[in-house]
Each structure stands twice: as structure tokens, then as C-alpha cells.
Amino acid sequence: MGKILVFVEFNHGQLKRSSLELLSAAQSSGQTVVAAAVGSLAEGISKEASQYGATDIYVIKETTFDKYNPELFTLGLTEIIKKSEASLVLATASALGKDLFPRVAARLDAGILSDCIELKISGDNVTAKRPIYSGKCFSKVTFENCPIKIVLMRPNQLPISVPNASATTNVIAHSVNAPSLRTLIKEVVKGTSEKLDLTEANIIVSGGRGMKEAGNFKFLEQLADVLGATVGASRAVVDAGWVTHDLQVGQTGKTVAPSLYIAVGISGAIQHLAGMSGSKVIVAINTDANAPIFQKATYGIVGDFADVLPKLTEEFKRAMA
Ligand SMILES: Cc1cc2nc3c(=O)[nH]c(=O)nc-3n(C[C@H](O)[C@H](O)[C@H](O)COP(=O)(O)OP(=O)(O)OC[C@H]3O[C@@H](n4cnc5c(N)ncnc54)[C@H](O)[C@@H]3O)c2cc1C
């Protein structure tokens, strides 16, 4: 029986939803599951990892692992993967995952599939589905002649299993003999938003050029507050300077797959769809009944945002109370 190592990411002492999805997928394959976490708080998530099937958790607790450094993380993860003897490594296709794991794959001479949206593990056979050409097509991919396989999954694609409250895990501390690093992260300046990052949000309320001006984003924020959602945007409004680039959804922005995506005043250009067409339910609000976004939408409202958004916000407020 093979062994699967899941590289887990966490926030405020809790595993990210995307890591729970990976642990659940690994567990449901019936293979042995181990986890790896890094940073001075890594050990704190071992209990939660065990509840989703990790029998062992490799932790690097050194404070140098609190901030992402590609050289250091590559060394640490390469060592842990070798030590664990895992034949399959699962990680999130997050900004960190997409930067780190191609480096790890090169060190280990491993095969790597990035940005996957479906995953099937059957014994040694691993197949995945990936969007190509900005989501216009999909490819089904598998590995050949790879003793070590690495799969990076997009968040919000896999179900989460029921946690086993009585499970325990064996914590294996690993220390890294850090080489003299060529780069050093001196400081991380956090954005001002307290909201969940777009890539992790379960509900997104997104605005486009049809919002007319930056000040009108307050209508989106009011609806987002009621729904517990994160605000996103099209590139047109980012280019106009109404919002910052970290809110941009699309080919040159973030790829998201929330349960609910509300697109307001967004026409539905292919480059925008590339970043959000994996959303489970899409609601479009647009004055133009022929806007392409309606072809992708589960529900559509033809109307002016200034009429529709305050009414929607009031209705949701009432319904959620
Ligand atoms: C290489 C490349 C990469 C790109 N990457 C991205 C990307 O990552 N993300 C992205 O979004 N775009 C990207 N674009 C740009 C993309 O092609 C579109 O130009 C952009 O998505 C359009 O944004 P929009 O829908 O907000 O604006 P528009 O296309 O101008 O649409 C505005 C919509 O608002 C509607 N509207 C107008 N008034 C109202 C009202 N009062 N109430 C409701 N609706 C109203 C209109 O009917 C219209 O459908 C990229 C383009 C290129 C070439």
C-alpha cells in the first residue's frame, strides 16, 4: 500500500479548508496518510490533521519557516518527502504551492500536475483533470514512470470528510540545516482587509465596470457583509484604479471556485470567466440581457445594480435574521 503526504497550510491555528479537502481525498483512497506542516505554530494543527486521517505529521518548527522563503522551504519539504517515503504528495495550488512544488519536484525528479480540479487515486494510479486555454478546454492527465508524484489541487474542488474526534497523530519533528540563503524575507506587510482571501472565500460578490464608479462598491460591500462574503472585481475596475489588484478575478488575477459567485456589472469576458467559471452557483446582475455572463449564470437578474443590490441586501438581511 502506498503512502500519501499532504502538505497542509493553516491560519490562526486552524487548517485551511483546502488542506482539509486534500486530507479527506487522501484518507478516502484507503492509503496511509501523513501530513507535513511548517512554522513555529505547526505542531498546533496536528490534532486537527489527525481527525482527517493523518497518522503522522512531520513538522518543521523553526521560526525561519514562519515566512515563505523558496530556498529554505524547498530544502525542508524535499527532506521531509524523502524521509516519509511517500509516493504521492498533495498540496494546494495556492500562490505558495505553485511557487514551491515545481522546485521540490525538480529536486526529487518527481512528476508534477498543477492547478487540478479533479483527482482520482486508485492504488498507484493517479489521474487528474486540469483546465487548459483559460478554462476553454479540460485535459485528463496521469503520471508515467514517476516514483514520486506531486498533485496541486485548486481549493474548493473536493468534499471534506467527517472528522474523527478520537483520532491521534504521531508528531515527527524535523530540523533543517539551513544553508546560507541567497534571499531573506525582512518583513511581510499585510493588506488592510480583514476579509478572507478571494481564493478561500465561500461566497464572492464581484463588481465590474457597470458599477460606474469606485464609490458604488459600497453597495457590493454592504451585500458582502450580510452574506459573510468577500468582494472581488473584474480587471476593468482594477485598471481604472477603483480597487486593488488583489481583488481581481480572472486569467491575470485570481482563480476562484466559491459556492456562490455574484457578478454585478460584469460582461463575462473570456478572461474573467477563466477565473470564476468553476463556481458552483453563479448569479449575474446586468442591464444588458445579452451580456455573455448570462450564458454561464445559474440565475440572472436583468437590471441596474443601483436598484437590485439594495433590495437583495435587504432581502438577505431579513432571510438571514
Ligand atoms: C491578456 C488579457 C488578460 C485579461 N485578464 C483579465 C482578468 O484577469 N480578469 C478580468 O476581469 N478581465 C481580464 N481581461 C479583460 C477582459 O477582456 C475584459 O475587458 C474585462 O473583464 C471587462 O470587465 P467588465 O466586465 O467589468 O467591463 P465591461 O466589459 O465594460 O462590462 C461592463 C458590464 O456592465 C454592464 N452594466 C452597465 N451598467 C450597468 C448597471 N447600471 N447595472 C448593472 N450592469 C451594468 C454592461 O451591460 C456590461 O455588460 C484581460 C484581457 C486580456 C487581453
Q: Is the pLDDT of residue 196 over 90?
A: no
Using the structure block, give the residue that is written with the C-alpha cell 512528476.
Answer: 111
Task: Give the pLDDT of residue 93.
Answer: 95
Task: Give the pLDDT of residue 192.
Answer: 65
What does residue 276 show for φ and ψ, rounded to 5 degrees?
-135, 0
All 3 cell numbers of residue 70? 523558496
Task: Give the pLDDT of residue 193.
Answer: 67
Helices and strands of the chain, counted as H and E runs: 9, 17
Q: Is the CB of 262 under 6 A from ligand 1?
A: no
The ranges assigned to domains in the chain are 3-173, 198-320
All 3 cell numbers of residue 49? 490533521
Q: Answer with the residue of higher pLDDT: 187 or 262.
A: 262
The Å distance, Cα 207 to ligand 1 centre, comes to 9
Domain 3-173 homologous superfamily, CATH? HUPs (3.40.50.620)
The average pLDDT across 254-264 equals: 95
Residue 265 contacts residue 210 (beta carbons within 8 Å): yes
Task: Give the pLDDT of residue 181.
Answer: 83
Give the residue among 196, 130, 113, 158 at the shortest CA–CA distance from 280: 158
d(CA 262, CA 220): 10
All 3 cell numbers of residue 122? 486508485
Same fold, 3-173 and 198-320: yes
Q: If you ran DSSP here, which 8-state letter would residue 87 be given?
A: S
Coil, helix or strand for 52? coil
Give the residue among 126, 128, 127 at the shortest CA–CA distance from 86: 126
Mean pLDDT, the chain, integer: 94
d(CA 314, CA 221): 13
pLDDT tens digits, 101-133: 999 999 999 999 999 999 999 998 999 999 988
The Å distance, Cα 277 to ligand 1 centre, comes to 15
DSSP H or E segment with residue 312: helix 305-320
The average pLDDT across 44-53 equals: 96
CA–CA distance from 312 to each of 40, 298, 303 (Å)?
44, 17, 12
Q: Is the CB of 250 under 6 A from ligand 1?
A: yes
**Taken in order 157, 28, 16, 175, is the CA torsion positive or negative?**
negative
d(CA 103, CA 98): 9
The average pLDDT across 44-55 equals: 96
Task: Give the pLDDT of residue 14.
Answer: 94
d(CA 116, CA 105): 16
The Å distance, Cα 274 to ligand 1 centre, comes to 12
Return the percentage of the chain with pLDDT > 90, whole number: 86
Q: Is the CB of 208 under 6 A from ligand 1?
A: yes
Q: Answer with the residue of higher pLDDT: 194 or 93.
A: 93
User: Where does 135-246 have alpha helices with state H?
Assistant: 217-227, 235-239
Q: Is the pLDDT of residue 279 over 70?
A: yes
Domain 198-320 homologous superfamily, CATH? TPP-binding domain (3.40.50.1220)
What does residue 143 show for φ and ψ, rounded to 5 degrees?
-105, 150
Coil, helix or strand for 94? coil
Task: Give the pLDDT of residue 183.
Answer: 84
Q: Is the pLDDT of residue 178 over 80?
A: no
Q: How confident is the model at residue 98 (pLDDT cuts 50, 70, 90)?
A: very high
The Å distance, Cα 182 to ligand 1 centre, comes to 41
Q: Is the pLDDT of residue 191 over 80?
A: no
Q: Is the pLDDT of residue 299 over 80?
A: yes
